[in-house]
Structure 1
Amino acid sequence: MATVKYFIRGKNNPATIHCRFINGRAMDFSLSTSLNVNPKHWDVKQQKIRNVIEVRNRDEINRKLSRLKIEIIDQFNLDFINGNIIDKLWLRNVISDFFKRPTDEVNNVNLDHKVYYTSFSLWWLKNKASSWLTSSGQYMNDRENSKYTAFIGMVQDFEGKHKLPIKNINHEVITDFVNYLNKNDYASETIRRHVNRFKFFLNRANQENIKVDKSYLQRVFVPKPIEVKEPYLNPKEIDKIYKHDFSDNKKLDNVRDFLIIAVWTGLRISDFMSSLNISNFIDDQIEIRTQKTKTSVVIPLHPMVKSILIKRNGQLPNKISDQKFNLYVKDVCKLVGLKEKIPGRLYDNDKKRKILGDYEKHKLISSHIGRRSFATNHYGKIANSVIMGVCGWSDQKMMLHYIKKSNREHAVELKKYWEEIYN
């Protein structure tokens, strides 16, 4: 007759609870359950933890041990009649399955990437990322890799000292992660990106045959964003920048000229700083194939841009790095007096992200203000199709993303329009 018994060895605290399976003389093997107990709390006769208040989870452990006995006997009967081998390894597998331990746990003691989320994510980036095709059909590059590495660091901050096992990550854990980001003032779009990255690595774990909780696939609520329109330069500000005398500072004079080219061409910095050269200027027009979208655009030469070429004897400003442009353009705008405080998000070196607040306008200026200003200043004055054609946008939705006029500015323009008609 098959029987199951529990016992502990020695008097050291804690002591491991062992399981002994007996079926006649042929079968008698014992294994650790990995559950621990203080020997003075163990009831040898009843083979369970005594009813003492010091052991808060005693009832749960005793119920588990009771059910494990039933499971072992049931599994023995099933495997015996099916001719399966009953040995110590069989008992180990029954106990492991009952406690839902990870597959190959014994062999994977030092393989954290098969158990823990952040360990797996770092392992995947190192071993799999270079052969992963993104949605654009390109292999994941170093830039994308660094973004995902930074994301993993964020998850490590979230989980603290206790790593998150992959199998325990469900919809509730991801919701907690969203709340953590929201509490730390991350923008809604940033939170949404990180949720997608969180799920990305769970998808990869699933492909590696690691057990995952499929509830992570459920939709996660992300708080609505606090809408803050990114800054643009209006015509008066552009004129002020254009007319400012930077003759005593060649560096800022060079950056100012590039900024004027940017606001009157709508080109990205990758185009006006890297690709654009004098051969692109044909018959008072700029003809260029954009780097990002590989779109051919034709842009009429604005008088301010033409004036810059004349000032520079038919040459463009001296090219500098994107980083230097983004740094110096703030100095340009500060010197011309763009110091009014406006809502925006500014990068915080300590927190390693952009923080919402009221900042002097020049601090919020970057290379993208050229493209944003071009679209905003021409919107409503020329056909949308013209703006889209010049900027190389294939749909109106993308164009509208760049329009940064406030409701008040639109109202002022409407009032001016009415006055012109009825006065």
Structure 2
Amino acid sequence: MNKVIYTGGLLLCLLALGGCRSNSESDHRHEHETEGEHEHEGHGEEIIFHKEKAEAAGIEVSTVKSGTFYQVLQTSGEIMAAQGDEKTLVASVSGIVSFQTKIVEGMKVGAGSMLLRLSSNNIADGDPVQKAKVAYETSQKEFNRMQVLVKSKIVSEKEFNTARQNYETAKISYESLASGHSRYGQAIQAPISGYIKNILVKEGDYVSTGQPLMQISQNRRLFLKAEISEKDYAHLPHITTARFKTAYSPKIYSLNELNGKLLSFGKSTNGSSYFIPVTFEFDNRGDVVPGSYVEVYLQSSPIENTIAIPRSALTEEQGIYYVYLQLDEEGYAKQEVTLGTDNGEFVQITSGLKNGDRLVTKGAMHIKLASASNAIPAHSHEH
């Protein structure tokens, strides 16, 4: 009987020890899993994007670093031509375009300088200058003949006047075409001194009489007139420069890069508007159309020690903005961010990023698509 009691007690002790060991292993495993969860806390699941695919997709990564950004007033504005004459060169004859020197937009030209020639050689319609010369010489002979006949009363005064009119018209036409004409073609000269604003044709183009060839502006500067609301009046003394974006191009223009400067800002509103005008002047590089309306980002007071990232780094889902951080060579994580002021090219981040983060600045959409496809499970990636 004592032997049975002793054996039963021994079995109970062994079972108890096994349970303790099992609980200890379970607790240890739970702690390890908890540590793994805290390792990427706030990033969500890791996204695997292999290095070869990242290079092919043009993924670019940079290190986040705080610096100086600026308060921005976003508004609308208008591009206006600065004071100064502007001329459009047109083809005086039909022909093939041939540039006489290297012509580029923005270059300075003097009045009377030859820019290109229009050649009518080997054209089915023939050389218009030669045709005008024939018409002029024919009408001249007819006019000389009529001068003799009218004195003898053989022809009437009406017939004589018609002949004289035809002669004078042919003479004007021929002299106009013959000016600058040679066997190489019709010379097209700059009518004014200034800067080439737009080149509307290229070498070898066929043009018709009256077709525009290029534009020359005496002033290579344009005005940007922006309007801000009365509630932002206190910011006016701090405005120094601006960026703008046209409706016909995704490019963001910086007045600092266009040699721009602030000319003036209004001290009051007028009766028909509750907005205050702010006017800048900048170089006319030829790709901004005077008279067009633009989105304007007015740069105001500086913000020190803040993080700003390119807009290309942002993705948006239902009004919430995200970026993607690189964890290692092939691992990425989605991170929610809060946006601050925006200058059209860069945007301030008020929360969600810190100095030293490795941020995907180009190709963030590829990472987003890889995350949505779940093609490669996160647990398959080894560190």
Higher fraction of helix:
1
Higher fraction of strand:
2
TM-score band, normalised by shorter chain:
under 0.3
Q: Max radius of gyration: which structure?
A: 2
Q: Which structure's relative contact order is higher, taking Cα pairs within 8 Å and 6+ residues apart?
A: 2
State the TM-score, normalized to the length of structure 1: 0.22
